[in-house]
Amino acid sequence: MPTPIRFKIRDRIATLTLNRPDRLNALVPEMREGFEEALAKAAEPSVKALFVRGAGRAFCAGGDIGWMARTLSENRWDELEALLDLGASVAYQLAMLPKPVVAIVQGPAAGAGMSLALGADLRIASTEAAFSMAFVKLGLHPDWGGSVMLSRLVNPALAAELMLLGDPIDAARAHSLGLVNQVVLGGQLEAAVEGLSHRLAVGPSATFARIKATLLRNQGLDADSLRARLEAEGAQMKAAMRQPDAKEGLVAFLEKRAPIFI
């Protein structure tokens, strides 16, 4: 079975690739070890930047809905909460990593997949990319740092729109809202990634670290307050998971019908 996380370092640039293309790189607990190992290696002094991307045609479709529905129906709360805790840990480590993190979004980034992309410092998207805070359509609360990172990037009214409605937005609108730094044609994506890789590979590591710390500080965040916000977000998602709307939302998604919420 292919490893669900691929990782490599080339020319001082680390690349973490979500590797479940047949499932649109949906997130599952089996990714924990891969994330932990990759983030530890990315923190090594020899690495200048971390790129995060997905294999195949999607960046990440979010949590694996089939797995979540089965786990929820069997009341396997420890497994569900472990996946949520992994998301909070990944979001925290990306924010605190003292080097640039770049998300390469070539297709759908939905739910926790959008959250993961928002956890990067920079985002490059192809014209085929689409973003959706789709949690609400399943009766769920944002996780994997999505609500925290979205609120760092856009004004409260836009954050409310994206989280309360959950409608997808294309790459052009994401760029206009400031959620994406650069949009390129699909055929030009790799060239854009390569160009940015070269720039970051020769950049000043210590200055990168200081700038990331300054960006957090200027938004009133530090290590403790960021962790507290991520923990609070996780608590809301764990509570949402235990409501009937969550089970209905997940089942309705799998049955390809509109959910009937309470």
Q: Angle, to 10 degrees, between the axis of helix 146-153 and the axis of helix 156-165?
A: 140
Whether the per-residue pLDDT at 2 is higher than 90: the answer is: no
Look at the chain and report how many structural domains it folds into. Answer: 1
Asked, for residue 45, whether it belongs to a domain, the answer is yes
- Per-residue pLDDT, averaged over 26-32, amounts to 96
Provide the domain limits for residue 146. 1-186+203-262
Do residues 55 and 107 make contact, with C-beta atoms less than 8 angstroms apart?
Answer: no
* Dihedral angle computed from the Cα positions of residues 96, 99, 100 and 103, in that order, rounded to the nearest 10 degrees: -60
Nearest to 238 by CA among 109, 95, 6, 77: 77
Any idea what the CATH number is for the domain that residue 47 is in? 3.90.226.10
- Asked if the structure places residue 138 within a domain, the reply is yes
Per-residue pLDDT at 59: 98
Is residue 1, in this structure, part of any structural domain at all?
yes
Tens digit of each residue's pLDDT (9 = 90 or more) over 45-104: 999 999 999 999 999 999 999 999 999 999 999 999 999 999 999 999 999 999 999 999
Counting DSSP H helices and E strands in the chain, the numbers are 11, 9
Question: What would the mean pLDDT of 205-221 be, rounded to a whole number?
Answer: 97
109 domain-assigned = yes
Is 192 contained in some domain?
Answer: no
Average pLDDT, the chain: 97
pLDDT 10s digits, 238-252? 999 999 999 999 999
195 occurs within a structural domain: no
- Find the mean pLDDT for residues 104-122: 98
Q: How confident is the model at residue 135 (pLDDT cuts 50, 70, 90)?
A: very high
Question: Looking at the predicted structure, is the pLDDT value of residue 1 above 70?
Answer: no
The answer to whether 57 and 21 have CB atoms below 8 angstroms apart is yes
The pTM (predicted TM-score) of the whole model is 0.97
- Report if residue 232 sits inside a domain: yes
Which structure tokens are listed for 4?
Answer: 């669900």
pLDDT for the residue 24: 98
191: in domain: no
